[in-house]
A and B are shown apart, each in its own frame.
Chain A
Amino acid sequence: MHIEAIGCEPLQLRRVHLENSRTLEVYRRNGGYEAIKKVLDSMSPDDVINDVKKSALRGRGGAGFPTGLKWSFVPKDSPKPKYVVCNADESEPGTFKDRYLMERDPHMLIEGMLIAAYALGAKTNYIYTRGEYRYLIDIMDQALAEARAAGLLGEKILGTDFSCEIYTHTGAGAYICGEETALLSSLEGMRGHPRMKPPFPAVSGLYACPTVVNNVETLTAVPDIIKMGGEAYQKLGTEKSGGTKVWSVSGHVNRPGVYELPMGYDDMEKFIMEDCGGIANGRQLKAVIPGGSSVYIMRAEAVIGKDVRMDYEGLVAGGSSVGSGGFIVMDDTVDIFESTKNLTEFYKHESCGWCTPCREGTDWLVKIFKRIDNGGGRADDAQLMLDLCDNIEGKSFCPLGDAAAWPIQSAVKRFPEDFAKHLVGSRKE
C-alpha cells in the first residue's frame, strides 16, 4: 500500500512509516504528547475549544460538521458526566484511513482524545470500533496501557489535577453503528438503532449525558492544531475547511493507498493520474466515487479537464462530496449497473430496519437489481428505481436511507447506458 502526503507536510502521516511507530517511545521522540502538555500547562478548556474553532477543522466521519462548534454545544454547567466517544466504526465501503492511523499511530488518537476530554470536562471516554477491527483493539489497548503506565492516562495526568480514562469497545458488525446515535445505543448495550435528533448527543448522548462523538481522523488532527495553533492549521487548507485530509484510495489506480492532501488540493485529475500513478493496466478512467460509497458517483468526463478541487465546496461543485474520503477509482471494465447493484446489496444488508422507506426500499431495490440481473429487466425499471429512491431520500429516519439512494440516483442518471443494456432484450441464457 502506498503512503504519501502530497502538497503538504505530513501531519497525520508523520510517523506511520517509522519502525515501531505504534510505541510510546517512538511517538514521544517525534513530538508526541507535547500538545497535551501544552494544554495542561497553559490552556483553559475554552482556549482549546477556541483554537479548534479557529482551525476550521471539520469532522472527518462524513458529515463534515465544524468540530469546534460541536464541542462548544456541550453545556458546561451541566451537572451530568460528559463523554468523548471516538467513532472508529469505519464501515463506509472504500474507507480504511482510520484503521491505518490506529494501527500505526495509536498514541496520536489517545492524545487527541485526552485534549478533547480536557476541553469538554470528560472523565470517561470510549473508542468504539467496528466488530471486524478486533485486532485493532489489541493495539489500542496496548497503547492505552503504555500511556497509563507513563502517567499519561488515569489519575493526575502528567502530575496535574486532570484525570481521565479511555476504554475500547467493539461493535458486533453493523454499518449503522457508525452513525453516531446508533453507536451510542450500541455502546449502551442496546440494539444498534439510530435515535431521534434533537436532542443531539452534545446535549443528551451516552446515558443521556452530554457527549461528543468524533471520528478518529478528527481527533488525531487535534494535537497538531494545538501545537501549531488553530490559525496556522487552518491556513494549511481553505478558509472553510482547515488543515489536511487523509484519503483512502482504492480501485483501478497504479498506487492505491492512504494519501494526505491539504484541504483544497487543486485537481482531482492530477491526483488520480499523477499522484496515484494513473489508471492501472493502461485502461481508461470510467468513474470515481470520491467520498466513500454514500456519495454521488462521478463520470470521468466530470473529472478530466475539470479542475475539481478536493475539499467540501470543490467536490460539491464537481457533483459529489468529500464524505469519508474513501476514494474509489473505476476503469472502463466496470459495469456501473453491477457496481451499483453491489452497493445496493450492501445498504440492504446494513439497513437497520427501523424506518419504512429504507428497510423496505432497499429490499425492493435489491430485488429489482436481481430480477434485471436474471434477465427480467423491463424498460421502465430505471424510472421505477429512481422513483423508489425519491421515496426513500429525505424521508428516512437517518441518513443511511439517503446514502442508499444517492449511489443509485447518480448511477442511473450519469450512466444510463450501463443500465439500458441490462433492461430490455438482454435476457441471459
Chain B
Amino acid sequence: MTQDVIKVTINNKDIQVPKGARLIEVCRDSGFDIPSFCYYSDLALQASCRMCLVRIEKMPKLQTSCTITCTDGMVVTTQSEEIEKAQRAMVEFLLANHPLDCPVCDRGGECELQEMAFDWGGLEERFTEKKNYYAERYLSPMVANDPQRCILCKRCTRVCDEWMGEDAIEAGGRGANTVIGTYGGWLDCSQCGNCIEVCPTGTLLDATYRHQARPWELAQTVSTCTYCSDGCQMSLGARGGELMRVVARDRYVNGLNGEFLCIKGRFGHPFVNHEARIRTPMIRYKKGGKLIPATWDDAIRHVASKLDSIANKHGRNSIGIVGSPRLTNEALYLLKKFATDLIGTDNYAVTDSVNLTPFFANLGAPLATHRDIRYAKTIVLIGGEPEELQPLTGKQIRQAVRNGGARLIIFNSVPIRLREQASQFIHIRPGAEEAAVLALAGGATDSLVSRKMGIETAELEKVRGTINETEGDLIIMFDGSLSAAAQSALAQLSYLLRADNRRVLFHPLPLYNNSIGALDMGMTNGAIDVTQMLDAAGRGIRAVCVAGSFLPEQLRGREESLAKLDFLMVQELFETDTTSFADVVLPAASFAEIDGTFTNNDGFVQRVRQSIPPVNQSKADWMITDQLARELGVEFGFGMSASAVFNEIAMQVPGYAGLRYPLLKDESKPVQVKHDIAVQRDISNELETVRTAVEQMDESPEKHNDTPDVGHELFKIRTLTDKVAQFHLLAAGNPRPESLNVSPLYQITLSDDLRAEAVVAGD
C-alpha cells in the first residue's frame, strides 16, 4: 500500500510525512520536544491542557499541535518567545491551585506535572491567593484520590470509557470546581486501575501502595504478567526483597499492552511476599501425619528414593508428572524432559482447563497479535468473555470498534458486556458454540445450525455478508472449550474465508499466562490428561509429582483420588487442596523471583525477569526439577542458568528455533513463535463429527438473559487473589464504607462471614 507523502517544515527543517499525520507526533519524531498532558495516543482528542501550542503560518493564533493534521506545505514553529511564554503560563495556571505537596505524594519523582514544572515552571510563584481545597478520599478499595492535584487532562475518564467501556469516572462540577469523581460516590467498576496509570499527576493513586515507598527507592524490573494469556508487560517495583507495586507506566515499560493492565496484573501481586508462602521444604513421613519442615537435601533425597522404588515396583508409567500452565517455558520444558527422558513415563499433563492441541495441529493461519486486533476490520468472537478473562484482548476489541470502525460479530450464550460494541450479537443457546463453527465452515445447512443455536437463519446470512465485505484483517477468536473436531475445523477456516484483500488470523483465548507455552513445550501431548490421571490414582498411577496444584474443578468429584496415591510431591507457593495430600511439599518461587519466558495468546515469547530474590527458601520450579534429576543420577547441565534451558528449547522446539534471551530483550518488539502453518486439508471427517454432535444437541436449554456482573471472573477468589485483602472486599460486592477518607480495609472487617461470602461470590 503506498501512502501519500507530504512535506511540512518544522523550525526550518523540511520533513516528509505521511498524509494525515498528527503534528505533535511529527514534531516529536523529528526531535522537537512538545510538552503535553492531555494528548494520549489512540484516545479521543481532548485539547484541553493547552501545553502543546505551536505557531503555524497563516493561522491566526497559536495552535494545539495535538489536534492538527499535517497538510502539505505547512510551516510550523515549535520554539519561540511567544510559545514559551504561553507554555510557561499553562504550567503556572496548573500549579496555581495545586497543593505543591510533592514530598508526601506517591507520584513525586515520577510525576509528569513535576517534570513539566522543572522544565517550564517559574522561579517565583505569582499566585499568592488561597488555594481551592478538596479532601483526599478513596474512590474504591483500589483507587485513592487527591482531587487538589488534578489538572483535568481527563486521560482517566477517557481510558475508563474508551479502553474499558466502563464510563465509571467522570468530571463533576464546573469551572475551577470541576472534580473527577464517580457516579454515586463509590467506584463500581472492574477496578483495573488504568485511570491511576495514565494520570500524569498524583491525583489518582494506587490505594494498595499508598505511602508505602517513594518511586526512586524501587528497583524496576520489566516482566510478564502471571495471570491471563494476554501476556501484558509490566514493571515490578521492588524494595529490599519486597515487591511493592506493579505498573505499566511507559517510563519503565513499553509492551504490547501500552499502559494497560487489569485488576489482577496491577493489584494481584501481594501474594508474592505473603506471610502464607510456604517457607521450607516439608516431608510427611507417615500418611495422615503432619508435614515436617526439612532441608532441601533431605526432601529431594526423600522424593528421589520414593520415585525410584515406585518405578521399580510398578513400572515407569506408574509415575505421573504434572505441571501448571502458570509455569515458565523453562520449567515446563524441563518437566517434560524429566518425565520422558529421565522417568520414562508417558503420563505427563498440564493442569489447564482446556487443550488447544487440535487447533494448533491444524492451524491454517498465524495468530493475531494484539496490534492486529486493534486494526482488524472484522472480528468474530465465538464464546468466551475477554473483558473478564483476557482483558487486554477485550480492550483491543473495543478500540478496534470504537476508534477503528471494525465490525464485531459475537456468538455467545450470555449477553456479555462486549456486545455493546458488537455490530451483530448472536445470542445462541448454551453449548451451541460448536454449531457456530459448523456454520462458518459451511458444514451443515443453515436451518439445522440456526435451529440448534436458537437463532434466525438471517443472522448467518448477515455474518457471511459482513465477512464477504471485509477488506483487511478478519480475526477469529474462540475460547478453548470447543471439541477437538470443532477446533480442527475452526483452525482451517482461514482457507475458506480468506480472499485477495482479506487476511484471516486466529486469536485463541486460553486462560493462563503460559497455556500456549505449555502446549509448545509438549506438555499437552502426554498419554492421559489430568483428570484421567486422577481417576487412575492408586491403580495405574501410584506416584505423582506436580508443579503447581490441581484446579478445584479437576478435583471436584475426585476428592479421594489424591489420598489413593502411594506418593505425592507438590511444588507450590501456598498450601492448597493438593498440598494437603502431599507427602513432600517443596516451596516454589513466584514469577517475581525467577527468570524465564511465557508464551502468550499472540504466540509472543516474552521474558519473565527476576525482581526479588526467592522468598523464604523457595526455588524456581525448573531448578527443583533439575535438582531432583541430579539426585536421580542425571545431570541436565544447566547450572543456575535459565537462559541455558531456553537455549535448549530453541534447539528442540521448532517454533522457537534460533531464539535467545538477548533477542527477547526489548519488550516493545516482542518475538512471535513460528507455529507451524498446516496446509489446507480435507476436514470433512471433522465436520461430520461436529455435525453429528450438533444434530444431537439438546434444543431445550434456555439462553442466559442477564449480563454478568462486572468482575464475576476478575474478582474471583483463587489461590493467589485470596492473598489480597482488597479482592475479598470486591468479591463481597464492593460495599461502600461509611467514610471515604479512610481506606475501606480499616472500616470493613474481613470477618469470617464476609470471607465466606467472598468465597461464595467468587466461586
- CA distance in complex: A364, B125 (Å): 13
**Chain A 322-375 interface residues, beta-carbon cutoff 8 Å to B:** 348-357, 359-364, 367-368, 371
**Chain B 344-380 interface residues, beta-carbon cutoff 8 Å to A:** none
Measured between beta carbons, the chain A residues less than 8 angstroms from B171 are: 191, 353
B753 contacts the other chain (Cβ, under 8 Å)?
no
Min distance, Cβ A188 to any Cβ of chain B, angstroms: 15
B50 contacts the other chain (Cβ, under 8 Å)?
yes
Contact between A397 and B48 (Cβ–Cβ < 8 Å)?
yes
Instruction: Give the interface size bracket for A toward B.
Output: 20 to 34
Contact between B129 and A359 (Cβ–Cβ < 8 Å)?
no
Interface of A is mostly: helix
**A359-B178 contact given A364-B127, A395-B90, CB 8 Å threshold:** yes
A81 contacts the other chain (Cβ, under 8 Å)?
no
Contact between B48 and A394 (Cβ–Cβ < 8 Å)?
no
Contact between A360 and B94 (Cβ–Cβ < 8 Å)?
yes
A23 contacts the other chain (Cβ, under 8 Å)?
no
B152 contacts the other chain (Cβ, under 8 Å)?
yes
A164 contacts the other chain (Cβ, under 8 Å)?
no
B53 contacts the other chain (Cβ, under 8 Å)?
yes
**A384-B175 contact given A397-B47, A397-B50, CB 8 Å threshold:** no
Contact between B175 and A348 (Cβ–Cβ < 8 Å)?
yes
**Chain B 89-123 interface residues, beta-carbon cutoff 8 Å to A:** 89-90, 92-94, 96-97
Min distance, Cβ A399 to any Cβ of chain B, angstroms: 11
Contact between A394 and B61 (Cβ–Cβ < 8 Å)?
yes
- CA distance in complex: A371, B130 (Å): 10
Partner of A353, one of B67, B94, B152: B152
Measured between beta carbons, the chain B residues less than 8 angstroms from A371 are: 128-129
A174 contacts the other chain (Cβ, under 8 Å)?
yes
B174 contacts the other chain (Cβ, under 8 Å)?
yes
A124 contacts the other chain (Cβ, under 8 Å)?
no
Partner of A356, one of B50, B132, B174, B177: B50
B151 contacts the other chain (Cβ, under 8 Å)?
yes
B632 contacts the other chain (Cβ, under 8 Å)?
no
B86 contacts the other chain (Cβ, under 8 Å)?
yes
Measured between beta carbons, the chain A residues less than 8 angstroms from B129 are: 364, 367-368, 371
Measured between beta carbons, the chain A residues less than 8 angstroms from B637 are: none
A396 contacts the other chain (Cβ, under 8 Å)?
yes
Contact between B62 and A395 (Cβ–Cβ < 8 Å)?
yes
Instruction: Give the interface size bracket for B toward A.
Output: 35 or more
A391 contacts the other chain (Cβ, under 8 Å)?
yes
Contact between B173 and A396 (Cβ–Cβ < 8 Å)?
no
A196 contacts the other chain (Cβ, under 8 Å)?
yes
**Chain B 488-524 interface residues, beta-carbon cutoff 8 Å to A:** none
Measured between beta carbons, the chain A residues less than 8 angstroms from B127 are: 364
Contact between B132 and A363 (Cβ–Cβ < 8 Å)?
yes
Contact between A196 and B94 (Cβ–Cβ < 8 Å)?
no
Contact between B151 and A356 (Cβ–Cβ < 8 Å)?
yes
Residues 23-64 of chain B, each 1 if its beta carbon lies under 8 Å from chain A, else 0 = 000000000000000000000010111110100000001100
**A360-B96 contact given A196-B67, A395-B89, CB 8 Å threshold:** yes
Min distance, Cβ B207 to any Cβ of chain A, angstroms: 26
Measured between beta carbons, the chain A residues less than 8 angstroms from B85 are: 391
Min distance, Cβ A314 to any Cβ of chain B, angstroms: 22
Contact between B174 and A352 (Cβ–Cβ < 8 Å)?
yes
Partner of B176, one of A174, A362, A368: A362
Residue in A closest to B154 when the chains form the complex, CB atoms = A354
Measured between beta carbons, the chain B residues less than 8 angstroms from A352 are: 174-175
Residue in A closest to B179 when the chains form the complex, CB atoms = A353
Measured between beta carbons, the chain B residues less than 8 angstroms from A196 are: 45, 47, 67
Contact between B174 and A395 (Cβ–Cβ < 8 Å)?
no
Contact between A361 and B152 (Cβ–Cβ < 8 Å)?
no
Show the binding face of B for A, using Cβ within 8 Å: 45, 47-51, 53, 61-62, 67, 85-86, 89-90, 92-94, 96-97, 126-130, 132, 151-152, 170-171, 173-178
Show the binding face of A for B, using Cβ within 8 Å: 174, 191, 196, 348-357, 359-364, 367-368, 371, 384, 391, 394-397
Those 7 A-B pairs whose CB atoms lie nearest each other, nearest first: A391-B89, A353-B178, A363-B176, A360-B93, A367-B129, A351-B175, A394-B61
A to B CB contacts below 8 Å, 7 in the list: A352-B174, A353-B152, A355-B49, A356-B49, A361-B93, A391-B92, A395-B50
